[in-house]
Amino acid sequence: MKKFLMVVITVILLFGFLGCATKAQEKNAQDLIAPVMGADGVLRPNWVFQGRDSSEKHYSVGFSDPLVLKSVTLKKAEASARIKMAEWISTTVTEVVSIYVNDSSDEENRKSFDSYKSLSLQVSQATLSGSVREDFWTDPEGGIYVLSSIPKANIEQAFAEKVGKANDSFQDEQAATEANNTLQELLQRVLYEED
C-alpha cells in the first residue's frame, strides 16, 4: 500500500512540475508579443508583425536597422517594403500566367507563352509607382518598420495593359481576346482569393 501511495504522489508531483513548465512556456510566448514602447514614445502597432489585410489593397512591411540618419533608415525600410511588394506582384502574375499556359490546350496559345515571360517583371515595375507608405514605427533601438500599400486595382490595370501588348503576338484576334479575358479572370481569382 505504501508503494502504491508513493507512486501516486510521485505521479501527482510529476504532473505538477509539467503544469508549471507549460505555464512558463505560455508566459514566455506572451512576453514575445508584449507591448513595446518605440523610440518616439509610440506603442508598437499590430501591423509590425501581423501585417494588415484588405480586399482593396495589398500591404507589405519593410524594416531597416538603424543607420546614421533617420531619413536614410526610413528610405531603406520603404525600399524593403517595396521589394516585398514587387516579389508578391511578380509571384502573383507568374502564377496567373502559369495557370493559363498549363490549362491551355491550343498549341498557338502555348507558343505565345514567350510573349508572357517578362510579364511579371513589367507589371511589378509599372505597378510599384502607385505604392504608398501608410505608416511607420521606430523601435527602441532606432530601427524602422514601414507599412506600405498598393491598390489591387493598380495591379489589375498594369496587368491589363501588359497583357494587351503581349497579345499582339497572336495570329488570331479572337484568340487574343480569349487569352486576355482568361488571364484577367485568373488574375481576379488569384488577387482576391487570399482575402
Mean pLDDT in consecutive groups of 10 residues from the start of the chain, 195 residues: 60 59 49 75 89 88 93 94 89 80 64 63 74 93 93 84 69 68 77 65
C-alpha cell recorded at residue 184: 484577367
The secondary structure of 124-190 as a DSSP string is HHHHHTT-EEEEEEE-TTS-EEEEEEEEHHHHHHHHHHHHHHHGGG-SSHHHHHHHHHHHHHHHHHH
Class of domain 51-193: alpha beta
> What is the residue extent of each domain of the chain?
51-193
The predicted structure's pLDDT at residue 118? 67
The predicted structure's pLDDT at residue 158? 81
pTM as predicted: 0.69
The predicted structure's pLDDT at residue 24? 46
The predicted structure's pLDDT at residue 72? 94
The predicted structure's pLDDT at residue 104? 66
The predicted structure's pLDDT at residue 194? 56
